[in-house]
């Protein structure tokens, strides 16, 4: 491997600004660390770069919508999802995120329409199915009312019952959002692992005795080839562990999501039968 380029110097005054890719990467890193406000800032800087394409801009704005959901900034989440859907009408992530935000804002019918569209485009999205059941059940009872029994009279929901329903509904949304974060992180870890594996494959073709360098911060340090390979193997192993941890988290959250949805439906049915 030939000698690496010199370490990058600090940007000089008047230097070109960072690329949108750099801002996106920073945003992704903040998102993975659950620093959602910082992620929003980085994603915003990315989409404001003049050289970014429409498709990449839509992807980043969709990521920003998820961050705003996690921050419970539902109005802004809807705005971001709208921007994405204006250019990518079938973007399932944007539809689901808008549906979640609309439901949190109390715009049930609009949220229901989005959840149904998600199910039409991707029937396997179980969280959308849960959203449909949840909202249809609420709308069936009418604003502030539930059916006492099928075909029977209606009665007002008590204040205590309404508070319990709202708490359960918030739990459903919270778990769904945590599940989405875990899935996003798993996808990122899988991509990182694949990049490391490809690098390891390239390194395996380098003849023994070749001078190799390894990045240390902003510098490159000459490192024996065997050590570079060993370090890569360690990184691949670490990514595999991260993947397993994310898979375990996803399994747990999927169970928690089903439980939260079941608890909500049980509460609704209890009220109806009262």
Give the number of other CB atoms < 10 A from CB of residue 24.
Answer: 21
Closest CA to 28 of 68, 63, 61: 63
pLDDT in tens, 53-79: 999 999 999 999 999 999 999 999 999
- 104 within 8 A of 81, measured Cβ to Cβ: no
DSSP label of 237: H
Return the exposure string of 109-139: e unless at least 16 CB atoms fall within 10 Å of the residue's CB, then b: ebbbbbbbbbbeeeeebebbbbbbebbeebe
Residue 172 has pLDDT above 80, yes or no: yes
Domain ranges of the chain: 16-107, 159-252
Residue 38 contacts by C-beta under 8 Å, 6 or more apart in sequence? 27, 30
Which pLDDT tens digit goes with each residue over 100-109?
A: 999 989 899 9
d(CA 140, CA 251): 32
Selected residue with higher pLDDT from 19 and 16? 19
Q: How far, in Å, are 24, 25, 207 from residue 202 at the CA level?
A: 27, 24, 11
d(CA 229, CA 254): 37
Residues 6+ apart with CB under 8 A from 178: 253
pLDDT band at 14 (very low <50, low <70, confident <90, very high): very low
So what's the pLDDT on residue 98? 96
Q: Taking residues 256-260, report their average pLDDT.
A: 86
Q: What is the CATH number of domain 159-252?
A: 1.10.287.370
Give 129-149 pLDDT, tens digit per residue: 888 888 887 776 544 433 333
Determine the average pLDDT of the residues in 198-226. 85
Mean pLDDT of the chain: 82
**pLDDT computed for residue 107 by the predictor:** 92
CA atoms within 13 A on the CB side of 256: 17
What DSSP character marks residue 52?
A: -
Between helix 20-32 and helix 159-204 the angle, nearest 10°, is: 120
Q: Which of 54, 84, 81 is nearest to 69 (CA)?
A: 81
**CATH fold for the domain made of 16-107:** 1.25.40
Of the listed ranges 65-74, 118-127, 150-159, the one predicted with least confidence: 150-159
* pLDDT at position 272: 66
Backbone angles phi, psi at 215, to 5 degrees: -75, 130
Which carries the bigger pLDDT value, residue 75 or residue 17? 75
Q: Above 80 in pLDDT, residue 161?
A: no
Percentage, residues of the chain above pLDDT 90: 41
Query: What average pLDDT score do residues 237-260 get?
Result: 90
CA distances from 48 to 20, 41, 74, 262, 271 (A): 8, 11, 22, 43, 50
Higher confidence at residue 268 or residue 8?
268
Res 147: pLDDT: 39
Q: Give the integer Cα–Cα distance in Å for 104 and 165.
A: 13
Between 87 and 273, the higher pLDDT residue: 87
Q: What is the pLDDT of residue 17?
A: 53
Instruction: For residue range 30-48, list pLDDT tens digits in order.
Output: 998 889 999 999 999 999 9
Tell me, rounded to whole angstroms, the distance of Cα 201 from its chain centroid.
Answer: 30
């Amino acid at each position: 491997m030939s000698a690496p380029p010199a370490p990058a110097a600090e940007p000089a005054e008047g230097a070109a600004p960072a690329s949108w890719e750099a801002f996106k990467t920073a945003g992704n890193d903040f998102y993975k660390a659950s620093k959602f406000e910082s992620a929003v800032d980085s994603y915003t800087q990315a989409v404001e770069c003049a050289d970014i394409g429409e498709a990449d801009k839509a992807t980043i704005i969709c990521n920003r919508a998820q961050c705003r959901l996690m921050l419970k900034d539902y109005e802004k989440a809807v705005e971001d999802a709208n921007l994405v859907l204006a250019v990518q009408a079938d973007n399932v992530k944007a539809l689901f995120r808008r549906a979640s935000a609309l439901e949190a804002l109390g715009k049930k019918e609009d949220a229901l329409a989005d959840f149904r569209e998600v199910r039409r485009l991707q029937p396997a999205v179980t969280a959308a199915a849960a959203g449909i059941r949840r909202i249809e059940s609420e709308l069936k009872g009418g604003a502030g009312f539930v059916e006492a029994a099928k075909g029977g009279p209606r009665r007002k929901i008590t204040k205590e019952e309404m508070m319990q329903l709202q708490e359960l509904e918030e739990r459903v949304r919270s778990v769904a959002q945590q599940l989405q974060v875990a899935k996003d992180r798993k996808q990122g870890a899988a991509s990182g692992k694949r990049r490391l594996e490809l690098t390891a494959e390239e390194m395996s073709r380098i003849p023994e005795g070749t001078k190799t360098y390894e990045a240390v911060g902003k510098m490159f340090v000459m490192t024996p080839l065997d050590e570079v390979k060993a370090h890569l193997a360690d990184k691949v192993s670490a990514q595999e562990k991260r993947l397993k941890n994310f898979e375990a988290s996803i399994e747990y959250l999927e169970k928690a999501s089903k439980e939260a949805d079941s608890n909500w439906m049980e509460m609704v049915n209890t009220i109806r039968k009262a």
